[in-house]
């Protein structure tokens, strides 16, 4: 089937009906990471870092306190774990609700520079008592260590859930060829766990990792193959038993740049999408394929070059180039996949660090345009959302949050309000001054039609939406924290919580 490629850069079109966003703002609602209890109230943890001695990463320890709140956020109970001693490694910790149980996941300190045992205890939400610890990954099994100095720069620890949340992926790496991979059930029992390697790469070259409902783990990665192999998007399939499967998706006459994976909600397939280069080192287009979870069979790739006008607009925003030797879109971007209606959206954001323009040699963090590339069996549509922000010390609210509702992709991001009435084909005005910033929703139809609208405007009160901490509560409800911002962008001591309902 021939694909219809649509480039939509207009603000809206006559057939589009504006999405309705209803916003309520609370001064007392708890943060997003407090776990709500069925009868009212919340459970949270307080962590305090303490340096035991020395400067290496493994000398830092934490004290951990479990806290129970009532529905009005008054503290009614505390439990200082391990008697309040600082015996928890600062390597990683998290309070998670999996199924109907609450778990505290942590890492035990280990000798020298080894990564310690990864442990979990169940938390009784009424008494705050904890269960006997269970081992998710033993230090002796992982056999991983970090450099003594700046070791945290090399750490990789990832927890991800299957679509039905009954399986959990655990990946632990230390910037080396060997990494540890495990599949857990919803009770955090280990189904399988083992050391793995992928020939020719370290865990730094892993691009994407997911787990399906059956507990199979998929990892995409990038290597420097030559010849025909350079046209291959590489995916490793890890199962409980047997040799890992190496699957390749060929991108004809192109070199894959990003390879992003997403397990379908139905659980029967894995979405594969990414960007590619051809004649230059800049990005020339996008590709999409699928893999069946039953027999791991791959479909033919769907390859779509960026339209010329799309590249021209991004070049005007300094995220592309129209000269023949450098033609294409900047690779300084990262992507995620979102199931949308009958297809998927690949949402991509440009970002880079600039130290050359800073008189004090402090880095400038630049976050730029957002792209939405939608794929289904009938079309590939391209949408550009112009955005430009420069951050120095803090990058609060600099990025975006994307999800799907009612068959459309909705992307929340902060922007200069003047950009909403400005010709969308022009280079965007900067949104670095918080006094000019509002929370915007970009609503994108499958055909690429774009409508931007203001959702929250609290700039006069110096509140900024922290889009990086947004959370979906239900298919049509999201929550986002609002942070008071001081002069020059430092966080203040006030916060609010906004609930956004989408009609």
Which pLDDT belongs to residue 16? 43
Which one of 148-157, 356-365, 485-494 scores highest in mean pLDDT?
148-157
pLDDT digits (tens, 9 = 90+) for 261-292: 999 988 899 999 999 999 999 999 999 999 99
Which pLDDT belongs to residue 378? 87
Q: Are 275 and 315 in the same domain?
A: no
Task: Specify whether the CB–CB gap between 160 and 218 falls below 8 A.
Answer: no
In a domain, 94, yes or no: no
Place of tokens 């894995």: 270
Confidence of residue 473 (pLDDT cuts 50, 70, 90): confident
Q: Are 457 and 318 in the same domain?
A: yes
Q: Are 318 and 286 in the same domain?
A: no
Which pLDDT belongs to residue 15? 40
Q: Are 277 and 341 in the same domain?
A: no
pTM of the model: 0.90
In a domain, 257, yes or no: yes
- Tell me how far apart the terminal alpha carbons of the chain are, to the nearest angstrom: 34
Q: Which range, of 121-135, 219-233, 380-394, averages the lowest pLDDT?
A: 219-233
- What secondary structure does DSSP assign to 60-108, as a single string? EEEEEEEEEE-TT--EEEEEEGGGG---EETT-EEEEEETTEEEEEEE-
**Mean pLDDT across the stretch 16-22?**
74
Instruction: State how beta strands 88-89 and 60-69 pair.
Output: antiparallel
Domain boundary among 282, 305, 328: 305
Domain boundary among 258, 277, 305: 305
Q: How many residues does the chain have?
A: 503
Q: How many domains, the chain?
A: 2
Q: Are 437 and 332 in the same domain?
A: yes
In a domain, 110, yes or no: no
Q: Are 298 and 321 in the same domain?
A: no
Q: What residues make up the domain containing 385?
A: 306-461
The three-class DSSP label of residue 48 is strand
The three-class DSSP label of residue 231 is helix
Instruction: State how far the Cα of 125 lies from the Cα of 368, in Å rounded to an integer.
Output: 43
Domain boundary among 270, 287, 305: 305
Instruction: State how far the Cα of 327 lies from the Cα of 308, in Å rounded to an integer.
Output: 10
In a domain, 46, yes or no: no
Which pLDDT belongs to residue 392? 78
Q: Are 213 and 262 in the same domain?
A: yes
- Report which of 115, 121, 122 is spatially closest to residue 137, judged by C-alpha positions: 115
**Mean pLDDT across the stretch 425-432?**
92
Q: Are 344 and 416 in the same domain?
A: yes
In a domain, 493, yes or no: no
Q: Are 457 and 310 in the same domain?
A: yes
Q: Are 312 and 435 in the same domain?
A: yes
Which pLDDT belongs to residue 19? 82
Does pLDDT of 2 surpass 80? Answer: no
In a domain, 291, yes or no: yes
Confidence of residue 3 (pLDDT cuts 50, 70, 90): very low
Does pLDDT of 293 surpass 90? Answer: yes
In a domain, 394, yes or no: yes
Does pLDDT of 9 surpass 70? Answer: no
In a domain, 103, yes or no: no
Q: Are 406 and 420 in the same domain?
A: yes
pLDDT digits (tens, 9 = 90+) for 60-78: 788 999 999 988 888 999 9
Q: Are 300 and 388 in the same domain?
A: no
């Amino acid at each position: 089937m021939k694909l219809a490629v649509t480039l939509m850069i207009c603000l809206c079109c006559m057939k589009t009906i504006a999405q309705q966003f209803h916003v309520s703002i609370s001064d007392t609602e708890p943060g997003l990471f407090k776990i709500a209890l069925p009868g009212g109230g919340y459970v949270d943890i307080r962590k305090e870092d303490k340096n035991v001695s020395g400067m290496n990463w493994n000398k830092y320890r934490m004290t951990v306190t479990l806290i129970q709140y009532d529905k009005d956020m008054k503290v009614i109970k505390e439990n200082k774990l391990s008697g309040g001693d600082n015996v928890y490694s600062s390597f990683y910790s998290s309070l998670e609700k999996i199924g109907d149980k609450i778990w505290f996941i942590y890492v035990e300190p280990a000798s020298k520079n080894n990564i310690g045992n990864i442990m979990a205890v169940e938390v009784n939400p009424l008494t705050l008592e904890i269960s006997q610890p269970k081992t998710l990954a033993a230090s002796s099994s992982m056999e991983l260590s970090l450099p003594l100095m700046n070791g945290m720069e090399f750490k990789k620890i990832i927890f991800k859930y299957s679509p039905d949340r009954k399986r959990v992926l655990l990946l632990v790496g230390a910037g080396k060829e060997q990494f540890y991979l495990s599949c857990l059930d919803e009770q955090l029992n280990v189904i399988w766990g083992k050391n793995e390697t992928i020939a020719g790469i370290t865990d730094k070259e892993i691009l994407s990792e997911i787990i399906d409902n059956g507990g199979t783990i998929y990892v995409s990665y990038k290597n420097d193959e030559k010849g025909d192999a350079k046209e291959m998007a590489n995916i490793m399939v890890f199962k409980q038993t047997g040799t890992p499967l190496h699957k390749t998706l060929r991108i004809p006459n192109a070199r894959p740049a990003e390879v992003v994976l997403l397990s379908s909600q139905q659980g029967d397939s894995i979405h594969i999408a990414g960007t590619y280069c051809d004649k230059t080192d800049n990005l020339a287009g996008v590709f999409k394929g699928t893999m069946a979870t039953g027999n791991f069979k791959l479909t033919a790739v769907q390859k779509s070059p960026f339209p010329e006008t799309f590249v021209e607009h991004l070049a005007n925003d300094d995220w592309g180039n129209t000269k023949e030797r450098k033609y294409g879109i900047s690779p300084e971007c990262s992507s995620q996949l979102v199931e949308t209606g009958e297809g998927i959206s690949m949402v991509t954001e440009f970002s880079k660090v600039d130290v050359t323009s800073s008189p004090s040699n402090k880095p400038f963090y630049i976050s730029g345009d957002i792209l939405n590339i939608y794929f289904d069996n009938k079309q590939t549509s391209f949408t550009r959302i112009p955005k430009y922000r420069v951050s120095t010390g803090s990058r609060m609210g600099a990025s975006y949050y994307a999800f799907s509702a009612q068959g459309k992709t909705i992307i929340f991001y902060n922007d200069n309000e003047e950009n909403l009435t400005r010709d969308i084909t022009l280079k965007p005005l900067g949104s670095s001054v918080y006094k000019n910033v509002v929370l915007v929703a970009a609503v994108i139809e499958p055909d690429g039609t774009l409508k931007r609208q203001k959702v929250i405007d609290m700039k006069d009160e110096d509140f900024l939406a922290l889009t990086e901490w947004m959370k979906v509560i239900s298919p049509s409800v999201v929550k986002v924290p609002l942070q008071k911002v001081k002069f020059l962008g430092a966080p203040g001591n006030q916060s609010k919580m906004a609930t956004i309902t989408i009609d």
